[in-house]
Structure 1
Amino acid sequence: MLLASIYPMPSLQNPTRQRLIHTALELFASQGVTTTTTKQIAEAAGVNEVTLFRHFGSKHGLLLAVIEEAAVFTQLGQTLVQQANQTGNIYQALKDYATACLHALDRVPEVVRSVVGEAGQFPAENRAALGRGFTQANHYVAEYFQTVIDRGQLHSYLTAEKLASLLNGMLLGYAVIEFTSEFHELWQDREDFLENLVTLFLHGAVSPTSLLPPLTTPAIQKATNLTPAVEKVADLSTDLVHKILRQTKNLGLQDYALTYVLFGAGLSATEMTRLERSHYFHDAHQQYLQITGDRERQVPINQWILGKRYGSYLRNPLTQWLKSRKDNQTALFLNSQGQPLSEPELRQQWQLWTEGLLTPEGRSPAIEQAQQTWCVEMVMRGMSLEDLSILTGWDQASLQPFANRAREKAALEAALRLDQKGG
């Protein structure tokens, strides 16, 4: 493989020096630093060993040049900063960056193994160069985080530099584990790791709203085999929900259908994007969805959402959307290119639907709050936690906060009714 094409280096005035660095990188990548000899590098580069020593002094001097001039992570960091000006979707930007980092490390597995196992043998200047490389890469990632924080897209519990350090540390840790042992059972595959990494990162260290409870996303539930550990339920007000539904009705049939299902069936963003046309069943007396994945179950779609009826079983926002379809796609919801809607795209749509709307706490509504709102509404309308557990796939203990929140709302409504009766 030609690593020079993977890691473009700065133009060097001395072509012999450049050729030696390119050759060393290729050999270090294929067989490790310790195993590679200066004689092998010189022969592969078409020069004598004396020439190598004249330029770099030693193999570690050559390694120092490779570290400083290959600058792979710096380039990846610069790419992430550019993405900050091209997309408002931090989930996708972070996943793309993490994927690119691991893809780059895939090209140099022996270098990773050598750095892990042999760094203690490197001269201090080499270790210092590694440190400078990591620090510079971290700076660019931190710059990206600071950009989205300043735009108000994130509520951060840590500084931008600390956020970047955590992300890069986790990526490097993954590479070390993957390249040194294939016998672990820490994750199913790379996609599983990346999905959980970005989800945990966005819902642990940062989030679009500080109201999101910990461990509420499907990716984290899947990774930890936990049901949502909701400490504080953040359901949306009746007025706000109906405003969101009104806004989406004006945006188009699919937007209206999406919000109708979100608030009418209590699904997560991940479950929404997995829906197929064949998963929807309805007749004059009922309508429900077949949910696939880790928690297979059937879930009804309510006609009534927080006191207002949105159509009938035969004619409602979802049936109207499906009736308008002229495509052959099996997915229930599509993006602007007519392909199955992805979770990041759904989250972008949510931001559009809720633009200009704020919760009583002064924050933008989060898509996870639709599911919480549905759970509270079901309890308020008399559903037992046992039945709600069947519909959600969560254990009853994890649903207790929703019961507590329903009692709070019931008590408030009771107090208001008493006040309306007068003295």
Structure 2
Amino acid sequence: MVKGTRNTADDTGAGPSTSTTQDRRPRRGRAVVRALEGWAAAFRLKLNAGELGSLPVVLVLVAVWVVFQILNENFLSPRNLSNLSVDIVGTGLIAVGVVFVLLIGQIDLSVGSISGLAAALFAVLNVNNGVPEWLALIIAVVSGTAVGTIQGFSFARTRVPAFVVTLAGLLTWNGLMLYILGTSGTINLDENGLVAKLTSYYFTNDAAAYGLAAVGAGLVFIASYQDRRRRKAVGMPHRSLREIGVRTGGLAVVAFVAAFVLNRFQGLPLAFLIFLVAVAGLDVVLRRTRYGRQVYALGGGVEAARRASLRVVRVQTAVLAVSGTMAAIGGLFLASRITSVSQASGGGVLLLNAIAAAVIGGTSLFGGRGTTWSAVLGILVIESVASGMAITDTPVAVQFMITGGVLFAAVVIDSLSRRTQEAHGRA
């Protein structure tokens, strides 16, 4: 008896049948629909459990953009969006460091002063004393790391709350900045120098922005696939390939639209590229390394972390060191944006905006929840409001009230989300 075999050819042996070829198209469509349905079902489960993720801040950002575009048609112009992509970098980098501190349930009040100190140190060394830019740059960044390490070690060893230690640091480092600047007041940076080019250089070749978009989407797909494979190997819940493909495709669309908009003005800003690389790199540190897992574990409870044999002092010290380093780098980008350093550097609303960006973006004030991308979303909201206010000639007072209202709403959502998670046994 001869077993039957599947034959894709027609009776004449001419090749695949027309009906079989046509049947494959609906199957592909159904596969995409099933992937979307699976993603929607998982999303609903997360919402019911209080895991809102980045949804609230994304909705706020969309609302802000829609409102200001209605008020002024130039808000979403390539020129304004390109400027916005550079404006978010300085404060955004500082906010990324703040995320690390918030993850362990603490707060760093000294990041503004550290950023001003690093910028002042660079300006005095390079402009006033003729130290090469690259060396002055390294010294400025290392100074931020050293200050953060000192504060972190003091906090970890004495067990004095971090906000008290960093509040003292706020005053100390601000005073040191004023002492370094002396009576000169303002120091202008070389507009053709390395630091000035951090925020003034653009990749004018269109391929740079599109290439970055393609590389970013590819890396996300690879990371998601590797995560799926690891989870599947140990029998843990994992995403399907269709869902990974749909998510990556959506991200690719957003990335290529952003690249198209940037290319319509001056191209890809170097500052924005550095910002994305820094955020992605630190995200890998938090999600994929032992140190990152220890940071999240510490946010879940210090005593539990000690009983689990975690080196609490080392982790706490390292977290404040990261915060100080990012504050110093952010301060240099802020100085680059205005090509000068003054006694007002690191002051004003910089500290509040950095902390607000991390919280608005979704990082929990209670510790243990948040990512570096939270800072990106949060600073986008804050700087979008500031940009919209400037375009529409709205008083700064209104900007403060709007930002404060958004911050308050973010904290309330965080608190309610935590309660819901506790009710479902997830917190």
TM-score category of the 2 structures, normalised to the smaller one: under 0.3
Work out which structure has the larger RCO, using CA pairs closer than 8 Å and 6 or more positions apart in sequence.
2
Q: Compare CA radii of gyration and give the structure with the larger one.
A: 1
TM-score w.r.t. the length of structure 1 is 0.22
For normalisation by structure 2, the TM-score amounts to 0.22
1 or 2, which has the higher helix percentage? 2
